[in-house]
Amino acid sequence: MMTTQQKILSDANKYVMPAVDDYLAARCLLLNNIFVGLTLGHEAIEKLMKALLILEEVEFPQKCHELPTLTKLLAGKDSIKYKFLSSNRKFMDRLDKHYAWRYYDGDIKKRSKTKSPTELHPIDSVWIKLHECYMDFLPKNYKFGTYLISYLFTPGIREHTNWPQFLLMDNRALKGSVSDWKKGFIKLMSARDASR
C-alpha cells in the first residue's frame, strides 16, 4: 500500500512521463523548423506545471490549458520558487496563442500571428527549470532517475535512439546541469547494480 506522499508522487508522474515525451517531440520538431512543435512545447510545459501543482497540493482545473492561470496557481503557492514563471509572463501568453491553433474556433485574434523556431530557447528555459523544481520533490535515491535523465544517459537509449541528441542539441538551458546529472545518474545506476 502506498503512503500519501507516494500516491501524490505517483499522480504527478502521470503528467511528468508524457511531459518528457512532449518536450522531446517539441525539440525534434522545432530543431527542424516544424512549427507544430510550439503546440507540443506548450503541452510539455502545461503537464509539468500540473505535476508541480499536484506535488504542491494545490487544486487546479483539470481541463485548464492556460499557462498564465497555472502560473498564478504555482506562484500563489511559492512566489520565490516560481518567480521564473512570473518573469516569463509574456512568453507564456505567446505560447498560449501558439497553442490556440490546436483547437481553431474561428477567432483569429486568439491565435499567434507568427511562428518561429526561436521560441525553442524560451521553451527549454522554462521546461528545464520546471523539471528542476520537480526533481526537488523526489526522494534523494530517485532524484537522478527521472524520465528525462534516463533518456539522456541510459546506454540502451543512447545506442538505439537519437533522443539524447535531440534533447542536448543547442539546449542552452541544459548546459549547466548535464555534467552533474550524468554523475548522479551513474552513481544511482551503480548503487542499483550493487544491490542486485
pLDDT digits (tens, 9 = 90+) for 83-134: 999 999 999 998 988 777 666 666 666 655 566 678 899 999 999 999 999 9
Domain containing 95: what range?
4-139
Q: Domain for residue 51, yes or no?
A: yes
Question: What local confidence, expressed as pLDDT, does residue 82 receive?
Answer: 97
Residue 74 lies in a domain: yes
Domain assignment present for 196: no
Q: Which residue has the cell 534516463?
A: 150
Q: Is residue 44 part of a domain?
A: yes
* SS3 per residue for 122-178: HHHHHHHHHHHHHHHHCCCCCCCCCHHHHHHHCHHHHHHCCHHHHHHCCCCCCCCCH
**Residue 154 forms part of a structural domain:** no
Q: Domain containing 104 — which CATH number?
A: 1.20.120.330
CA distance readout (Å), 10 to 13, 47, 54, 55, 173: 5, 14, 10, 10, 27
* Cβ contacts of 42 within 8 Å, gap of 6 or more: 65, 67, 95, 96, 98, 99
**Structural domain contains residue 155:** no
Confirm whether 165 is domain-assigned.
no
Task: Quote the percentage of the chain above a pLDDT of 90.
Answer: 77
Number of domains in the chain: 1
